[in-house]
């Protein structure tokens, strides 16, 4: 993934662009970690839960879920926890 999927949401803010550039080299690894964890869960995983597991803010994680969704790798479930949708690996 070379483009910031959330660019439209943050309006091209300089700080957001810098944050995306900083995380760019790690995005594939983060995607693999999210997918790997989801594969072992029966109730899905929310972006908020993953953020808590890895000790990062939700704003640092939600874009990764959006990227995986756009690539067709994960899908939303009907489950919601703490106001967040749970996601699962797409079959």
Structural domains in the chain, CATH included, are: 12-89 (1.10.10.10)
Contact assessment for residue 9 and residue 20, using Cβ atoms and an 8 Å cutoff: no
**Per residue in 15-68, pLDDT tens?**
666 766 777 778 899 999 999 999 999 999 999 999 999 999 998 899 899 999
- Cα(36)–Cα(22) distance, rounded to whole angstroms? 23
pLDDT of residue 72: 96
**Per residue in 55-85, pLDDT tens?**
999 988 998 999 999 999 999 999 999 999 9
Q: Is 33 exposed, middle or buried (0-12, 13-18, 19+ CB in 10 A)?
A: middle
């Amino acid at each position: 993934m070379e483009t910031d999927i959330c660019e439209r949401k943050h309006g091209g803010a300089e700080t957001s662009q810098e944050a995306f550039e900083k995380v760019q080299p790690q995005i594939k690894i983060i995607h693999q970690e999210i997918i790997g964890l989801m594969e072992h869960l029966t109730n899905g995983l929310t972006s908020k839960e993953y953020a808590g597991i890895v000790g990062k803010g939700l704003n640092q994680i939600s874009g990764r879920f959006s990227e995986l969704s756009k690539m067709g790798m994960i899908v939303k479930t009907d489950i919601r926890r703490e106001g967040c949708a749970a996601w699962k690996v797409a079959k």
